[in-house]
Chains A and B, each alone.
Chain A
Amino acid sequence: MTTTAEPPTATSGGLRVDDVSWSVKGTVIVDGIELQGRPGEITGLLGPNGSGKTTLLRAIARLTRPDRGVVLLGGTDLSSLRRRDLARKLAVVEQHSGTDLDVTVLDVVLLGRTPYRSALQGDSEHDRVLALDALDQVDMLDLAGRKWTTLSGGEKQRVQLARALTQQPALLVLDEPTNHLDIAHALSLLALVRHAGLTTIAALHDLNLAAMFCDHLVVLNRGRLVAAGAPAEVLTPDLLREVYEVDADVSRHPQTGRPLLTFHPPSPRSNGTGHTTPGVAT
């Protein structure tokens, strides 16, 4: 198990989560989480289903009010901001966004300007340039006039990323953004996130994708932080067995040098919970 070794950088534009806890009906969902996201880096939030990743992200984005703890961005306590000001600093991409409405791609991206416009203002030329730039950045400019409902899952997520960029945030919060995507779209979406160069915290399910794109990983298990550090420090066979109850070999990616995980099929007897999986990693 590793812990954060980096010196605190909270004042220099990064994210600092300090002792955040949240419980519902007596069940603790997130328990005293401390973590840091350095400026311009992608922090990957890992952990099995129900480990508290989404809740933690919701607490960071103030969609849930934590029972305890503070979230600081560049030294500012996010809970002290008006919601509108918060939306200029922090943008969220959910794992799935649906609507019945007949909106176009450009309509959706322009929603990102909502926190910058007063009630009666229309979309300015500036808003439009920002929106089209963001669409260009996610390689969707050609589809600006298309209807949202006609897009594929991967295209929808890229449009939502463009919308988030149009908010001009300092922090990007991504909740399993690649969940419903095929591998090509998952890779290209995360490459676009990298390319944006913003301080980012992203819950991810695919550990190999996390290893490839994140600068820093944080692992949650049953609401507690169990590991944090560089991908190579965090993604070890021991941790995978302890947290995910799977056996895996960890090698190096031939191209990136990042950790590369090869999972073992579960043995027939331990098909259920996996609690009794015998350790077979070398």
Chain B
Amino acid sequence: MNSAPAPGVAADRTTTPPAGSTPSPLPRSRRRMLGSGAIVAAAVLILTGSILVAVTLGQAGISVREVWTVMTDRLGLSFLQVDTLGLGAQHPSDIRADVIWNMRLPRTLSAALIGAGLAVVGAIMQTLTRNPMADPYLLGISSGASFGAVMVIVAGIGGGLFGVSLGAFGGALGAFMLVLIIGQSSGTLTPVRMILAGVAIGALCSALTSFVILWVADPHATQDVQFWLSGSLAASRWSSLQIASVVFVAALLLFLWNARTLNAFTFGDDAAASLGVDVNRIRWLLLVACALLTGVLVAVSGSIGFVGLLLPHAVRFLVGPDHRLVLPLSALLGGVFLLWVDTVARTVFDPRELPVGVVTAIVGVPAFIWVLRKKQVRG
């Protein structure tokens, strides 16, 4: 390989470069890309199937066919009730139809939406802060959102879920700014400093949230504290999904639009800049979008931890680091993940319910330790 490079300078110049016709090895990354459409399609099927099955699970033994019938009826798509696919019409009683349409489905879809959103936010934050441990919960951003939301409720500003979402966005953005400022040392963000700053800000916001709720002390205070600090999907209704799903779709499109640009951050900010990326503009745009998305998700579900840490790493482990594939797959599999976690949380100790954040933490902490050890997080 290192055949003595003839130092005869002139001689070196005259050597013609190898002709343009290159042998075409098909490295694994290319094959990966070729199959990427199939992988995304498979993930869509898994998510759809998971939704249909998860809705059936719970006290009132419901069948997938009943779920399918209710869904397609309500959406005006009854022509999809095809017997040959095992999805023929099977009309449940009105009460069961109500349980399916007004309880189980919004809850299942909320879980999928929250999981998808948190996973995508984690993936973006890990890239832009060059911190493999970045996660909206670990960095205190979810707690900031909870605090912002609670302040809007307590101050009686109103505006319903919109007002709460706005407050959560404000809290998320404020917490994020603080973490970025504290996490900096001489102009560079160091991952460990950032996590420590996140833990501190998160603890502060959680404490303030508890304080404010207990100070106001309405009869549900304890439940409220639990909701905002460790998350729950029990209160999910169709109405609570609207804002979050609109913001999620908009943010996901923005992120996908910048997927190639995000790849340019592989070797850091300077490398991205010299590949033609306007680093500051992109960073602010995407980080504010992350705070917004985190805010509206927390307004629906309280702060659920570790999804944003766990999923992007799992996805990169499966398909490699290309954001064009990592982002859609994180969203889809994040949805699948939280949907099943929530299903476990609400069914295992039925009729009591486990807070969903408890389950994500039980799964997430070992993953946290794995990432910490494998990635040799820089101090």
Contact = CB atoms under 8 A, between A and B. Distances in A.
Interface in A178-210: 184-185, 187-188, 190-192, 194-195, 197
A99 B266 contact: yes
Contact of B322 (A62, A107, A191): A107
Given A101-B316, A132-B22, A94 B270 contact: yes
Interface stretch (A44-52, A139-147, A262-270, A273-281): A139-147
Contact of A195 (B13, B261, B263, B321): B13
A99 B267 contact: yes
Contacts of B6: 191
Among A101, A114, A128, A258, chain B packs the most CB atoms within 10 A around the CB of A101
Contacts of A61: 274
B231 to A, nearest CB: 28
Contacts of B274: 61, 63, 87, 90-92
A212 interface: yes
Contact of B258 (A62, A119, A191): A119
B7 A212 contact: yes
B278 A83 contact: yes
Contact of B321 (A88, A103, A187): A103
B8 A141 contact: no
B18 interface: yes
B83 interface: no
Contacts of A192: 5
Contact of A111 (B130, B259, B264): B264
B3 to A, nearest CB: 8
A75 interface: no
B131 to A, nearest CB: 9
Contacts of B18: 133, 136-137
B29 interface: yes
Interface string B19-57: 010111101111001000000000000000000000000
A27 interface: no
B260 interface: yes
Nearest to B26: A145
Among B5, B130, B264, chain A packs the most CB atoms within 10 A around the CB of B5
A236 interface: no
Interface string B124-168: 000000101000000000000000000000000000000000000
B260 A145 contact: no
A108 B5 CA distance: 25
Contacts of A112: 275
Nearest to B6: A191
The 8 closest A-B pairs by CB, nearest first: A145-B27, A191-B5, A87-B276, A115-B276, A84-B276, A101-B321, A92-B274, A114-B275
14 contacts: A92-B271, A100-B130, A106-B29, A114-B260, A120-B257, A122-B324, A136-B17, A145-B25, A145-B28, A194-B12, A195-B17, A212-B7, A213-B9, A256-B7
Interface of A: 61-63, 83-88, 90-92, 94, 97-108, 111-112, 114-115, 117, 119-123, 128-129, 132-133, 136-137, 139, 141-142, 144-145, 167, 184-185, 187-188, 190-192, 194-195, 197, 212-213, 253, 255-256, 258
Given A90-B274, A122-B324, 20 more contacts: A63-B274, A84-B276, A98-B267, A100-B132, A102-B316, A102-B321, A104-B320, A107-B266, A111-B264, A114-B261, A119-B257, A121-B260, A141-B23, A144-B25, A188-B1, A191-B5, A191-B12, A194-B12, A256-B7, A258-B9
